[in-house]
Structure 1
Amino acid sequence: MTLLDRLGERLSGIRGRLTPDAAMAKLTWFQVGGPADLFFQPADEEDLALFLERLPEEIPVLTVGVGSNLLVRDGGIEGVVIRLSAKGFGSTEQLSDNRLRAGAALPDKRLAAAALDAGIGGFHFYHGIPGAIGGALRMNAGANGTETVERVVEVHALDRKGGRHVLSNAEMGYSYRHSEAPAELIFTGAVFEGYPAEREAIRAKMGEVQHHRETVQPIREKTGGSTFKNPAGTSAWKEIDKAGCRGMTIGGAQMSEMHCNFMINTGDATGFDLESLGETVRRRVNASSGILLDWEIKRLGRFAAGRIVESAV
């Protein structure tokens, strides 16, 4: 009996898409991982609130975005995986001369494009981030010297029981690639603020971002973006390179030759291969420089039987 079968009448009236035993490998850029017990795409915020209100509290809930920085383990994910739909959560709206509202399912690049159309500066960095706004809010995504914390005014969210919340920038508790917002909160959208700018100047900055990505990152590979956070005073790729890990492979997983802080699936990698490679790199960098790298990629789910990856610490 699937989790959807067990929930039965509790979910009567839910309008979104419910899929039991959903293949997570199809939803992540790495294209690996086992199934989710139940996958839910809510129709809109009201539908999501009703679902959360009716879902028994003991069932785990995990929210994912476009899957650009997720590594799903081979044993799959227990409970419910929620992915916000573009139709219900992917819109933008200009609120004033310098403010935009964006749904959490909106791709980062589209927020950059909306800001360009409105003549609002400060959003060009999103043009180079291959994720969605919900993930950017959660991890304080940034690139090219700018971070989400510099643009956010307020964040809208639902809690595990479907209650609505509005958090200020300060209440998000942002730091490098991190926020202190409660893990149970599901972000549904946010208000952002930039500054007046000429469209040609914005377009030029977006072009610089795109050129940088295309020339130094393996953007056409099955990858999860930056694998590790930059340590204080140095760059993760420099430490990985010094430790001799550029191009290192385990099974079908490889540290990119082009940018060695990017891990790629060369074609037949498993979640076990990728996580094993990452932990091996962490050990070698620690032995080389005394630095223990922190994962930037989010690793989720259960290990397959007999395929447990031991952490470097």
Structure 2
Amino acid sequence: MDLPDVRGKLTEGFDLSGVTWLRVGGPAEVLFQPADEDDLAAFLTALPDGVPVFPLGLGSNLIVRDGGIDGVVIRLGRGFNGIRIEGGRVIAGAAVPDAMVAKKAAAAGRDLTFLRTIPGAVGGAVRMNAGCYGSYVADHLVEVRAVTRAGAAVTIPAADLNLAYRHSDLPEGCVLVEAVFEAEAGDPDALAARMEEQVAKRDATQPTDKLSAGSTFRNPVGHSSTGRADDTHELKAWKVIDDAGLRGHRLGGAEMSQKHPNFLLNAKNATAEDLETLGELVREKVFQTSGIQLEWEIRRVGKTGRG
């Protein structure tokens, strides 16, 4: 592949299994780690139109298939991990882990505590309208800055992203570089204590010591178009999986967690095919037992098989 000159790093045939939380997946045809936003914009401007681009965050909500990803995988790093607080607004680079945003904001007396237990980084949280404990990105996001596939820097108001339950309308190939959140004031000590409680609750109910990608399937009902959850009427994905008798079910090296059956685990040297096949089996069995069609929350990308 004929690639533009960069100030960052280009790596051909990069093994993506080492940078996803499930530790599976084939190679990226090319991995690009831009030095900064200007480097990213110049690269995308010069990159031939026919070359596909896939932005990769921390790999926390992702299955990369065993055949890998064609084109260019873009992974943001140091040039995109700043956090600054201006009054009630928290501005975070797309590569900043969600937990770090929550902690930095809390220390400054700003409440984004819902981000504390969400795996991954800011870019993925915006793309998926991530949420926890009744709060969603949609409740706090003001705007994002991004670089389009054509290399243009743009600012997109939150309203234009059409944020819904685990959904946003970021343009294809667009690389999010920064997000602006509005955060209410709060006592730093009280916010820190709340986050400690959230972490303890998460660790008690989820297999955080295992190789997983967070929740595997979306909750099937109980959500409005804004991404807010109605906890009174919400049906949980874990419950219908449990009712189908699939808690702890295994296929190859993949397993539905005993602790939380909506967590798909790499229990023992699983392949991406093991994980995806087990997930599809779960969808089939749940539909047979309850008539409910579960939808994947984990993104599945790339080619099947290995070349």
Q: Provide the residue aligned with 2:86 in structure 1.
A: 95
Any conservation in 1 of the 2:255–2:267 contact (CA below 8 Å)? yes
Residue type of the alignment partner of 2:91: R
Q: CA RMSD in A?
A: 1.1
Q: Match for residue 194 of structure 1?
A: 183
Q: How much has 1:213 moved relative to structure 2?
A: 1.1
Q: What secondary structure does 1:239 align onto?
A: helix
Residue 151 of structure 1: CA displacement? 1.0
Deviations 1:62-100 (A, max 9, x none): 001001111011111111100001x1000001122x111
| Alignment-mate amino acid for residue 86 of structure 2 | L
Query: Distance between the aligned counterparts of 2:124 and 2:169, measured in 1?
Result: 14
- Paired residue for 2:226? none
Query: For residues 123-173 of structure 1, what are the alpha-carbon distances to aligned partners after superposition, in whole Å with 9 as ceiling and x for unaligned?
Result: 111110111000001010111111001111111011001101111111110
User: 2:231 is matched with which residue?
Assistant: none
- Give the distance between the partners of 2:159 and 2:242, measured in 1 at CA: 37
Q: Please state whether the residue corresponding to 1:128 is helix, strand or coil.
A: coil
> SS of the counterpart of 2:115?
helix
Secondary structure, counterpart of 2:116 in structure 1: helix
Aligned to 1:24: 16
Q: Secondary structure at the match of 2:120?
A: coil
From 56, 78, 85, the counterpart of 2:48: 56
Deviation at 1:181, TM superposition (A): 2.3
| Aligned-partner Cα distance in 2 for 1:33–1:95 | 40
**Aligned counterparts of 1:53 and 1:181: Cα–Cα separation in 2:** 18
**120, 143, 155: which one aligns with 1:154:** 143
Question: What is the rounded CA distance, in whole Å, between the counterparts of 1:285 and 1:182 in structure 2?
Answer: 33
CA distance in 1: counterparts of 2:259 and 2:17, whole angstroms: 25
1:305 CA displacement: 6.1
1:119 aligned partner = 109
CA offset digits 1:175-212 (Å, max 9, x no partner): 11111222221100011111111112211211121011
Q: What whole-Å deviation, never above 9, does each CA across 1:223-280 have from its counterpart, x for those lacking one?
A: 1110000010300000000011100100000000000000000121000000000000
* Structure 1 stretches of 4+ moved >4 Å: none
What TM-score do you get using the length of structure 2 for normalisation?
A: 0.94
Unpaired runs of 5+ residues, structure 1, are 1-5, 307-313
Aligned to 2:259: 258
SS in 2 for 1:135: helix
Distance (whole Å) between structure 2 residues aligned to residue 26 and residue 160 of structure 1:
26
Matches within 5 A, 1:144-293: 144-232=133-221, 233-293=234-294
Unaligned runs of 5+ in 2: 222-233
Q: How far apart, in 2, do the equivalents of 1:32 and 1:184 lie?
A: 23
Distance of 1:198 and 1:76 partners within structure 2: 46
Residue matched to 2:98? 108
Identity of aligned residues (%): 47
Number of aligned residues: 295
Measure the CA separation in 1 of the matches of 2:172 and 2:115. 23
